[in-house]
């Protein structure tokens, strides 16, 4: 896994480095609602925009997955509760009773209610 990460990271880093060295010219960046003008290198504006877009996209994806994470957490809690209930039932039914059988036979079961 470390090799795969290195194989992917190295070319991306080289491309970003070549891009930054090729685009060192300054451009004027004006922030509209304010009377502020900043001279920045082209590569800084482009890479900064990519980073901001990546962070905003990640935030939106994380917020969109909130419902799925909540449902997974609820199902995990339900699974744990059911596993504890199964263990409790196995424990109760494995202990010998006064009649000698922990499970009721088909003949001694009460009838099911009608729907």
Per-residue pLDDT at 56: 97
Q: How far apart are CA 6 and CA 12, in angstroms?
A: 10
Q: Please report, to the nearest 10 degrees, the dihedral formed by the alpha carbons of residues 8, 13, 18, 22 taken in order.
A: 130
DSSP class of 106: G
Q: Has residue 32 been placed in a domain?
A: yes
CA distances from 89 to 19, 55, 58, 79, 101 (A): 66, 49, 45, 15, 14
Q: Has residue 56 been placed in a domain?
A: yes
Q: Has residue 73 been placed in a domain?
A: no
Per-residue pLDDT at 104: 54
Q: Has residue 99 been placed in a domain?
A: no
Q: Has residue 62 been placed in a domain?
A: yes
Q: How far apart are CA 60 and CA 114, in angstroms?
A: 50
Q: Has residue 24 been placed in a domain?
A: yes
Q: How far apart are CA 49 and CA 43, in angstroms?
A: 10
Q: Has residue 92 been placed in a domain?
A: no
**Residue 87, helix vs strand vs coil:** helix
Looking at the 3D structure of the chain, how many domains does it have? 1
The range of the structural domain enclosing residue 15 comes to 2-67
Q: Has residue 80 been placed in a domain?
A: no
Grouped pLDDT means (10 residues each) for the chain, 115 residues: 88 91 90 88 92 96 95 97 95 70 58 74
């Amino acid at each position: 896994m470390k090799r795969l990460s290195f194989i992917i990271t190295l070319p991306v880093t080289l491309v970003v480095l070549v891009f930054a060295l090729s685009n060192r010219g300054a451009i004027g960046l004006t922030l509209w609602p304010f009377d502020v003008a900043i001279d920045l290198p082209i590569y800084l504006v482009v890479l900064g925009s990519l980073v901001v877009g990546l962070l905003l996209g990640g935030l939106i994806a994380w917020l969109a997955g909130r419902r799925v994470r909540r449902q997974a957490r609820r199902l995990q809690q339900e699974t744990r509760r059911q596993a504890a209930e199964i263990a409790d039932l196995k424990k109760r039914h494995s202990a010998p009773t006064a009649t000698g059988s922990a499970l009721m036979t088909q003949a001694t079961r009460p009838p099911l209610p009608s729907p």
